[in-house]
């Protein structure tokens, strides 16, 4: 196998604890060193931050670092990253690096590599095994939940890592596959794309090197939220995160439909997720009637990142919110 490229960006997987405080480290990552034993690899470090400090410009910086590599030299690329915003960076890299002809695998950790509870080594080893045996191109993530085998996920379908148990799962419920005995075993479910579909040549959905001058507001529904108190001034769009059935409050002062119409009057489009195909609740229909655009079959992170790129990319297609760009949507 050709050598591997390791793009480090910080995060827990690149941190160490001292005096009860976890900080990003400048030393060589022990989990990378252990997993790469006997293998040839190059390390690149475009940034070194905790991922909660990431901005959309950070996604672009990582993507440009991957683009700067000579892909012919490598069997695959590992991107070490923090867990907090892994799903957002995963979606961003999936949208911008769809043309890369070798696998790109994000790896993170629930605990810093020196902690005996850490899954850093298991995740890096799983990524290496996937690159070696998967035979797939695209952007993925390798992650082990608890004592389970390491799972391989489509980066565009990552959910947020849970606060309890630090679990990472795919939107739609099924990972792309599992690492068993150092071999990639695909998960045979209808929601997953075939190897042939993944390996088709395609263009990136969005360019790198853009200026993120326009922002998207992300607003989560909760009982008692007063949408009338929200000021969308300065935002290019608003994405509403609704309850699991795709509903939000439609009655009384400060309702969501009022907010949607107010935004429309300011030239600010409103979107929402989750959005379910087929029969919908009357409250959901009221949101659509007010002008909100549903984004069905997509995770919150992938929907948000798609809108951020769409609002900052001239000529983005009008049907962008509902168009599948890189297998991010689940039927």
User: How would DSSP label each residue in 298-329?
Assistant: --HHHHHHHHHHHHHSTT--TTGGGS-SSS--
Residue percentage of the chain with pLDDT more than 70: 100
- Mean pLDDT of the chain, nearest integer: 95
Q: Check whether 331 has a pLDDT greater than 90.
A: no
Q: How far is CA 85 from the centre of its chain?
A: 8
- Tokens 């070490």 locate to 80
Bridging pattern class, strands 150-154 and 138-144 = antiparallel
pTM: 0.96
- Say how many Å lie between the first and final Cα of the chain, rounded: 36
Distance CA 289, CA 110 (A): 43
Of the two residues 1 and 192, the one the predictor is more confident about is: 192
- What pLDDT, on a 0 to 100 scale, did the predictor assign at position 186? 97
Q: Check whether 27 has a pLDDT greater than 90.
A: no
Distances (CA, A) of 60 to 56, 67, 73, 154, 235: 7, 10, 22, 19, 20
- What pLDDT, on a 0 to 100 scale, did the predictor assign at position 319? 86
Distance CA 76, CA 80 (A): 13
| pLDDT tens profile 285-311 | 999 999 999 999 999 999 999 999 999
| pLDDT tens profile 46-87 | 999 999 999 999 999 999 999 999 999 999 999 999 999 999
Q: Determine the 3-state secondary structure of 183 from DSSP.
A: strand
Average pLDDT over residues 213-231: 96
The two three-digit tokens of residue 236, written as one number: 């290019």
Distance CA 122, CA 301 (A): 25
Average pLDDT over residues 205-224: 96
Of the two residues 118 and 27, the one the predictor is more confident about is: 118
Q: Check whether 111 has a pLDDT greater than 90.
A: yes
| pLDDT tens profile 130-153 | 999 999 999 999 999 998 999 999
- What pLDDT, on a 0 to 100 scale, did the predictor assign at position 117? 94
């Amino acid at each position: 196998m050709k050598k591997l490229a390791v793009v480090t960006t910080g995060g827990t997987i690149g941190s160490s604890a001292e005096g009860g405080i976890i900080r990003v480290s400048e030393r060589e990552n022990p989990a990378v060193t252990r997993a790469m034993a006997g293998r040839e690899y190059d390390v690149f470090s475009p940034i070194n931050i905790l991922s909660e400090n990431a901005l959309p410009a950070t996604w672009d910086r990582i993507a440009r670092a991957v683009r700067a590599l000579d892909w012919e030299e490598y069997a695959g690329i590992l991107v070490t990253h923090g867990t907090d915003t892994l799903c957002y960076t995963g979606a961003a890299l999936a949208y911008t690096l769809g043309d890369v002809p070798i696998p790109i695998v994000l790896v993170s950790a629930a605990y810093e590599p020196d902690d005996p509870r850490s899954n850093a080594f298991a995740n890096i080893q799983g990524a290496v095994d996937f690159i070696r045996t998967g035979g797939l191109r695209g952007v993925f993530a390798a992650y082990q939940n608890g004592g389970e085998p390491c799972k391989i996920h489509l980066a565009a379908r990552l959910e947020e890592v849970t606060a309890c148990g630090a679990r990472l799962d795919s939107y739609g419920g099924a990972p792309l596959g599992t690492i068993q005995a150092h071999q990639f075993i695909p998960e045979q479910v209808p929601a997953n794309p075939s190897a042939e579909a993944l390996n088709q040549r395609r263009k990136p959905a969005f360019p790198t090197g853009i200026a993120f001058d326009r922002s998207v507001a992300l607003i989560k529904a909760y009982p008692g939220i007063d949408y009338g108190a929200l000021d969308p001034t300065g935002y290019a769009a608003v994405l509403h995160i609704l309850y699991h059935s795709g509903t939000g409050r439609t009655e009384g002062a400060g309702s969501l439909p009022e907010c949607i119409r107010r935004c429309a009057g300011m030239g600010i489009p409103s979107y929402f997720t989750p959005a379910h195909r087929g029969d919908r609740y009357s409250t959901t229909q009221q949101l659509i009637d007010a002008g909100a655009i549903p984004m069905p079959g997509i995770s919150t992170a992938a929907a948000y990142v798609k809108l951020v790129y769409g609002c900052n990319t001239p000529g983005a297609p009008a049907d962008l919110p509902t168009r599948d760009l890189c297998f991010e949507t689940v039927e």
